[in-house]
Amino acid sequence: MEVFDVVCTALAIRKYKDDPIPQDTIHRIVEAARLTGNSENAQPWHFIVVEDRDTLKKLGSLVRSGPYISQAPLAVVVVIKETKYAESDASRAIQSMILTAWAEGVGSNWTGFYGLERVNALLDIPEDLQVLAVVPFGYPNQPTGKGRKRRKSLTEVAYREKFGQPFE
Amino acid sequence: MEVFDVVCTALAIRKYKDDPIPQDTIHRIVEAARLTGNSENAQPWHFIVVEDRDTLKKLGSLVRSGPYISQAPLAVVVVIKETKYAESDASRAIQSMILTAWAEGVGSNWTGFYGLERVNALLDIPEDLQVLAVVPFGYPNQPTGKGRKRRKSLTEVAYREKFGQPFE
Protein backbone atom coordinates (compact mmCIF):
# COMPACT_ATOMS: atom_id res chain seq x y z
CA MET A 1 0.00 0.00 0.00
CA GLU A 2 1.29 3.49 -0.83
CA VAL A 3 2.31 5.66 2.11
CA PHE A 4 -0.36 8.24 1.38
CA ASP A 5 -3.09 5.59 1.34
CA VAL A 6 -1.77 4.21 4.62
CA VAL A 7 -1.86 7.65 6.27
CA CYS A 8 -5.36 8.25 4.90
CA THR A 9 -6.80 4.94 6.11
CA ALA A 10 -4.96 4.15 9.35
CA LEU A 11 -7.47 4.20 12.20
CA ALA A 12 -7.12 3.80 15.96
CA ILE A 13 -7.74 0.10 16.62
CA ARG A 14 -8.76 -0.99 20.11
CA LYS A 15 -10.10 -4.51 19.45
CA TYR A 16 -7.79 -7.23 18.24
CA LYS A 17 -8.08 -10.76 16.94
CA ASP A 18 -6.20 -13.44 18.87
CA ASP A 19 -3.94 -14.14 15.88
CA PRO A 20 -0.28 -13.63 16.72
CA ILE A 21 1.73 -11.18 14.64
CA PRO A 22 4.45 -12.85 12.56
CA GLN A 23 7.98 -12.23 13.81
CA ASP A 24 9.06 -10.68 10.53
CA THR A 25 6.27 -8.11 10.84
CA ILE A 26 7.30 -7.37 14.44
CA HIS A 27 10.85 -6.97 13.22
CA ARG A 28 9.79 -4.42 10.59
CA ILE A 29 7.72 -2.49 13.14
CA VAL A 30 10.71 -2.20 15.48
CA GLU A 31 13.10 -1.39 12.63
CA ALA A 32 10.75 1.37 11.47
CA ALA A 33 11.05 2.93 14.90
CA ARG A 34 14.82 2.54 15.06
CA LEU A 35 15.37 4.06 11.61
CA THR A 36 13.08 7.08 12.04
CA GLY A 37 14.55 10.50 11.40
CA ASN A 38 15.21 12.42 14.60
CA SER A 39 16.80 15.57 15.90
CA GLU A 40 20.58 15.66 15.67
CA ASN A 41 20.48 11.85 15.27
CA ALA A 42 20.49 11.53 19.07
CA GLN A 43 18.00 8.62 19.00
CA PRO A 44 16.89 9.21 22.60
CA TRP A 45 14.69 6.13 22.62
CA HIS A 46 14.26 2.50 23.58
CA PHE A 47 11.60 0.03 22.43
CA ILE A 48 10.49 -2.97 24.49
CA VAL A 49 8.59 -5.64 22.58
CA VAL A 50 6.07 -7.39 24.83
CA GLU A 51 4.25 -10.55 23.78
CA ASP A 52 3.95 -12.28 27.13
CA ARG A 53 0.24 -12.53 27.94
CA ASP A 54 0.70 -11.95 31.65
CA THR A 55 2.79 -8.82 31.05
CA LEU A 56 0.26 -7.52 28.50
CA LYS A 57 -2.49 -7.96 31.09
CA LYS A 58 -0.46 -6.04 33.64
CA LEU A 59 0.21 -3.26 31.14
CA GLY A 60 -3.53 -3.10 30.42
CA SER A 61 -4.19 -2.56 34.11
CA LEU A 62 -1.43 0.06 34.53
CA VAL A 63 -2.22 2.25 31.49
CA ARG A 64 -5.48 4.03 32.20
CA SER A 65 -6.12 4.92 28.54
CA GLY A 66 -5.24 1.41 27.32
CA PRO A 67 -7.12 -1.37 29.15
CA TYR A 68 -7.38 -3.15 25.80
CA ILE A 69 -3.60 -3.73 25.78
CA SER A 70 -4.49 -6.84 27.77
CA GLN A 71 -6.23 -8.29 24.68
CA ALA A 72 -3.50 -7.44 22.16
CA PRO A 73 -0.98 -10.01 20.93
CA LEU A 74 1.79 -7.40 21.04
CA ALA A 75 2.69 -4.09 22.63
CA VAL A 76 5.71 -1.89 22.13
CA VAL A 77 6.67 0.12 25.21
CA VAL A 78 8.34 3.36 24.15
CA VAL A 79 10.93 4.70 26.55
CA ILE A 80 12.78 8.01 26.28
CA LYS A 81 15.60 9.84 27.91
CA GLU A 82 13.98 13.19 28.59
CA THR A 83 15.74 15.76 26.47
CA LYS A 84 14.49 18.78 24.56
CA TYR A 85 13.65 16.75 21.46
CA ALA A 86 12.93 13.29 22.87
CA GLU A 87 9.14 13.51 23.02
CA SER A 88 8.99 14.80 19.48
CA ASP A 89 11.49 12.25 18.16
CA ALA A 90 9.73 9.34 19.83
CA SER A 91 6.36 10.55 18.55
CA ARG A 92 7.77 10.36 15.05
CA ALA A 93 9.07 6.84 15.72
CA ILE A 94 5.64 5.80 16.98
CA GLN A 95 4.05 7.20 13.82
CA SER A 96 6.53 5.20 11.72
CA MET A 97 5.57 2.04 13.62
CA ILE A 98 1.83 2.66 13.33
CA LEU A 99 2.05 3.26 9.57
CA THR A 100 4.39 0.31 8.94
CA ALA A 101 2.03 -1.97 10.86
CA TRP A 102 -1.10 -0.70 9.11
CA ALA A 103 0.50 -1.38 5.71
CA GLU A 104 0.64 -5.02 6.79
CA GLY A 105 -2.93 -5.09 8.06
CA VAL A 106 -1.98 -4.63 11.70
CA GLY A 107 -3.85 -2.03 13.74
CA SER A 108 -2.66 -0.12 16.78
CA ASN A 109 -3.28 2.89 18.95
CA TRP A 110 -1.17 5.15 21.12
CA THR A 111 -1.97 4.63 24.81
CA GLY A 112 -0.49 6.32 27.85
CA PHE A 113 1.43 9.56 28.02
CA TYR A 114 4.08 9.72 30.75
CA GLY A 115 3.16 9.09 34.38
CA LEU A 116 3.88 5.39 33.91
CA GLU A 117 6.50 4.83 36.60
CA ARG A 118 4.87 1.53 37.51
CA VAL A 119 5.70 0.32 34.01
CA ASN A 120 9.34 1.15 34.77
CA ALA A 121 9.14 -1.17 37.74
CA LEU A 122 7.32 -3.91 35.80
CA LEU A 123 9.83 -4.00 32.93
CA ASP A 124 13.07 -3.22 34.80
CA ILE A 125 13.35 0.15 33.07
CA PRO A 126 15.97 2.39 34.74
CA GLU A 127 14.45 5.18 36.82
CA ASP A 128 16.18 7.91 34.86
CA LEU A 129 14.20 6.94 31.74
CA GLN A 130 10.55 7.79 31.10
CA VAL A 131 7.85 5.62 29.57
CA LEU A 132 6.24 7.93 27.01
CA ALA A 133 3.71 5.48 25.61
CA VAL A 134 2.58 1.89 25.27
CA VAL A 135 1.48 0.97 21.76
CA PRO A 136 -0.56 -2.25 21.41
CA PHE A 137 -0.71 -3.95 18.01
CA GLY A 138 -3.02 -6.59 16.56
CA TYR A 139 -5.15 -7.58 13.60
CA PRO A 140 -8.32 -5.47 13.81
CA ASN A 141 -11.43 -7.09 15.24
CA GLN A 142 -13.55 -4.01 14.52
CA PRO A 143 -14.65 -2.20 11.33
CA THR A 144 -11.74 -0.35 9.77
CA GLY A 145 -13.88 2.42 8.35
CA LYS A 146 -12.98 2.23 4.65
CA GLY A 147 -10.61 5.11 5.15
CA ARG A 148 -13.15 7.63 6.41
CA LYS A 149 -11.92 9.78 9.26
CA ARG A 150 -13.43 12.51 11.35
CA ARG A 151 -11.08 15.43 10.87
CA LYS A 152 -11.33 19.17 10.59
CA SER A 153 -11.66 20.27 6.96
CA LEU A 154 -8.64 21.46 5.00
CA THR A 155 -10.09 24.97 5.21
CA GLU A 156 -9.78 24.89 8.99
CA VAL A 157 -6.17 23.76 9.20
CA ALA A 158 -4.33 24.55 5.94
CA TYR A 159 -3.40 27.87 4.40
CA ARG A 160 -1.32 29.35 1.60
CA GLU A 161 1.50 31.83 2.16
CA LYS A 162 -0.07 33.43 5.26
CA PHE A 163 -2.14 32.19 8.17
CA GLY A 164 -5.83 32.39 7.30
CA GLN A 165 -5.47 32.44 3.51
CA PRO A 166 -7.38 29.42 2.14
CA PHE A 167 -5.30 26.50 0.91
CA GLU A 168 -7.85 25.57 -1.72
CA MET B 1 6.99 2.32 -2.44
CA GLU B 2 6.02 0.31 0.64
CA VAL B 3 5.83 2.20 3.91
CA PHE B 4 8.62 0.18 5.49
CA ASP B 5 10.94 0.89 2.56
CA VAL B 6 10.09 4.58 2.80
CA VAL B 7 10.90 4.66 6.53
CA CYS B 8 14.14 2.77 5.91
CA THR B 9 15.37 5.03 3.11
CA ALA B 10 14.07 8.51 3.96
CA LEU B 11 17.04 10.77 4.65
CA ALA B 12 17.34 14.38 5.77
CA ILE B 13 17.63 16.40 2.57
CA ARG B 14 19.12 19.89 2.71
CA LYS B 15 19.89 20.56 -0.96
CA TYR B 16 17.09 20.84 -3.47
CA LYS B 17 16.70 21.06 -7.22
CA ASP B 18 14.92 24.12 -8.58
CA ASP B 19 12.07 21.96 -9.91
CA PRO B 20 8.71 22.95 -8.47
CA ILE B 21 6.66 20.33 -6.67
CA PRO B 22 3.42 19.45 -8.49
CA GLN B 23 0.29 20.75 -6.80
CA ASP B 24 -1.19 17.28 -6.46
CA THR B 25 1.90 16.18 -4.51
CA ILE B 26 1.65 19.26 -2.29
CA HIS B 27 -2.00 18.43 -1.74
CA ARG B 28 -1.14 14.89 -0.62
CA ILE B 29 1.58 16.16 1.73
CA VAL B 30 -0.87 18.52 3.43
CA GLU B 31 -3.63 15.91 3.51
CA ALA B 32 -1.22 13.44 5.13
CA ALA B 33 -0.69 15.96 7.92
CA ARG B 34 -4.39 16.72 8.32
CA LEU B 35 -5.38 13.04 8.48
CA THR B 36 -2.70 11.93 10.96
CA GLY B 37 -3.84 10.13 14.08
CA ASN B 38 -3.67 12.35 17.15
CA SER B 39 -4.60 12.44 20.80
CA GLU B 40 -8.34 12.65 21.49
CA ASN B 41 -8.76 13.82 17.87
CA ALA B 42 -8.10 17.39 19.03
CA GLN B 43 -6.04 18.21 15.91
CA PRO B 44 -4.23 21.10 17.62
CA TRP B 45 -2.43 22.10 14.43
CA HIS B 46 -2.27 24.39 11.42
CA PHE B 47 -0.18 24.03 8.26
CA ILE B 48 0.91 26.97 6.14
CA VAL B 49 2.09 26.10 2.63
CA VAL B 50 4.74 28.55 1.45
CA GLU B 51 5.96 28.66 -2.16
CA ASP B 52 6.66 32.36 -2.51
CA ARG B 53 10.39 32.75 -3.09
CA ASP B 54 10.70 35.92 -1.07
CA THR B 55 8.91 34.36 1.92
CA LEU B 56 11.07 31.22 1.67
CA LYS B 57 14.18 33.42 1.75
CA LYS B 58 12.90 35.20 4.83
CA LEU B 59 12.12 31.88 6.53
CA GLY B 60 15.66 30.71 5.69
CA SER B 61 17.05 33.75 7.48
CA LEU B 62 14.74 33.41 10.51
CA VAL B 63 15.21 29.69 11.20
CA ARG B 64 18.74 29.21 12.50
CA SER B 65 18.79 25.45 11.78
CA GLY B 66 17.30 25.88 8.29
CA PRO B 67 19.14 28.43 6.13
CA TYR B 68 18.56 26.08 3.19
CA ILE B 69 14.80 26.76 3.34
CA SER B 70 15.66 29.71 1.13
CA GLN B 71 16.61 27.30 -1.68
CA ALA B 72 13.59 24.99 -1.38
CA PRO B 73 10.59 25.23 -3.71
CA LEU B 74 8.22 24.59 -0.79
CA ALA B 75 8.05 24.81 2.98
CA VAL B 76 5.26 23.84 5.32
CA VAL B 77 5.13 25.92 8.49
CA VAL B 78 3.70 23.84 11.34
CA VAL B 79 1.78 25.79 13.94
CA ILE B 80 0.32 24.42 17.17
CA LYS B 81 -1.91 25.50 19.98
CA GLU B 82 0.18 24.55 22.99
CA THR B 83 -1.62 21.79 24.80
CA LYS B 84 -0.38 18.69 26.59
CA TYR B 85 -0.36 16.61 23.42
CA ALA B 86 0.17 19.21 20.69
CA GLU B 87 3.93 18.80 20.25
CA SER B 88 3.59 15.04 20.05
CA ASP B 89 0.59 15.18 17.68
CA ALA B 90 2.27 17.66 15.36
CA SER B 91 5.47 15.62 15.36
CA ARG B 92 3.43 12.68 14.10
CA ALA B 93 1.87 14.88 11.41
CA ILE B 94 5.32 16.02 10.31
CA GLN B 95 6.46 12.41 10.09
CA SER B 96 3.42 11.62 7.93
CA MET B 97 4.33 14.51 5.62
CA ILE B 98 7.99 13.55 5.38
CA LEU B 99 7.15 9.91 4.53
CA THR B 100 4.41 10.83 2.04
CA ALA B 101 6.77 13.21 0.28
CA TRP B 102 9.66 10.72 0.19
CA ALA B 103 7.40 8.12 -1.42
CA GLU B 104 7.02 10.59 -4.30
CA GLY B 105 10.73 11.34 -4.53
CA VAL B 106 10.54 14.58 -2.55
CA GLY B 107 13.05 15.13 0.24
CA SER B 108 12.66 17.26 3.36
CA ASN B 109 14.03 17.92 6.79
CA TRP B 110 12.63 19.23 10.06
CA THR B 111 14.03 22.69 10.85
CA GLY B 112 13.35 24.94 13.82
CA PHE B 113 11.89 24.00 17.17
CA TYR B 114 9.83 26.74 18.84
CA GLY B 115 11.32 30.18 19.49
CA LEU B 116 10.09 31.32 16.09
CA GLU B 117 7.95 34.31 17.08
CA ARG B 118 9.32 36.28 14.14
CA VAL B 119 7.71 33.69 11.86
CA ASN B 120 4.40 34.48 13.58
CA ALA B 121 4.87 38.09 12.56
CA LEU B 122 5.95 37.23 9.01
CA LEU B 123 2.98 34.97 8.29
CA ASP B 124 0.24 36.73 10.30
CA ILE B 125 0.06 33.82 12.76
CA PRO B 126 -1.92 34.75 15.90
CA GLU B 127 0.28 35.32 18.94
CA ASP B 128 -1.45 32.62 20.99
CA LEU B 129 -0.21 29.98 18.55
CA GLN B 130 3.35 28.61 18.41
CA VAL B 131 5.44 27.78 15.37
CA LEU B 132 6.82 24.33 16.18
CA ALA B 133 8.74 23.74 12.96
CA VAL B 134 9.34 24.75 9.38
CA VAL B 135 9.66 21.82 7.00
CA PRO B 136 11.20 22.56 3.59
CA PHE B 137 10.54 20.15 0.72
CA GLY B 138 12.20 19.63 -2.65
CA TYR B 139 13.62 17.10 -5.06
CA PRO B 140 17.01 16.05 -3.66
CA ASN B 141 20.11 17.62 -5.15
CA GLN B 142 22.42 15.48 -3.03
CA PRO B 143 23.13 11.72 -2.79
CA THR B 144 20.22 9.90 -1.18
CA GLY B 145 22.38 7.23 0.37
CA LYS B 146 20.81 4.06 -1.03
CA GLY B 147 18.93 3.63 2.21
CA ARG B 148 21.95 3.47 4.49
CA LYS B 149 21.52 5.32 7.75
CA ARG B 150 23.70 5.93 10.75
CA ARG B 151 21.67 4.59 13.64
CA LYS B 152 22.32 2.76 16.87
CA SER B 153 22.10 -1.01 16.44
CA LEU B 154 18.94 -2.91 17.31
CA THR B 155 20.81 -4.31 20.31
CA GLU B 156 21.19 -0.82 21.73
CA VAL B 157 17.56 0.27 21.45
CA ALA B 158 15.27 -2.78 21.25
CA TYR B 159 14.48 -5.41 23.86
CA ARG B 160 12.11 -8.30 24.50
CA GLU B 161 9.77 -8.46 27.49
CA LYS B 162 12.07 -6.49 29.83
CA PHE B 163 14.46 -3.59 29.44
CA GLY B 164 17.93 -4.90 28.60
CA GLN B 165 16.88 -8.33 27.27
CA PRO B 166 18.15 -8.57 23.67
CA PHE B 167 15.53 -8.25 20.93
CA GLU B 168 17.44 -10.56 18.63
Q: Quick one: pLDDT at residue A147?
A: 64
CB contact under 8 A, B91 and A96: no
Nearest C-alpha in B relative to A87: B88
B contacts of A113 (beta carbons < 8 Å): 39, 84-85, 88
One pLDDT digit (tens) per residue for chain B, 168 residues: 899 999 999 999 999 999 999 999 999 999 999 999 999 999 999 999 999 999 999 999 999 999 999 999 999 999 999 999 999 999 999 999 999 999 999 999 999 999 999 999 999 999 999 999 999 999 999 988 766 789 999 999 999 999 999 998
Nearest C-alpha in A relative to B45: A157
Low-confidence ranges of chain A (pLDDT < 50): none
Cβ atoms of A136 and A75 within 8 Å: the answer is yes
The crossing angle, in degrees rounded to 10, of helices B86-102 and A86-103 is 50
- Pick the residue of A51, A79, A91 with the most B CBs within 10 A to test the interface with B by mutation: A91
CATH class of A3-157: alpha beta
Greatest Cα pair distance, chain B, in angstroms, is 53
pTM of the model: 0.97
Dihedral (Cα; A125, A127, A128, A131), 10-degree rounding: 50
B contacts of A31 (beta carbons < 8 Å): 4, 7-8, 154
Closest CA of chain B from A159, distance in Å:
5
User: d(Cα A160, Cα B126) in Å, to the nearest integer?
Assistant: 15
Q: Quick one: pLDDT at residue A144?
A: 84
Q: What are phi and psi of B149, to 5 degrees?
A: -130, 145
Nearest C-alpha in B relative to A99: B3
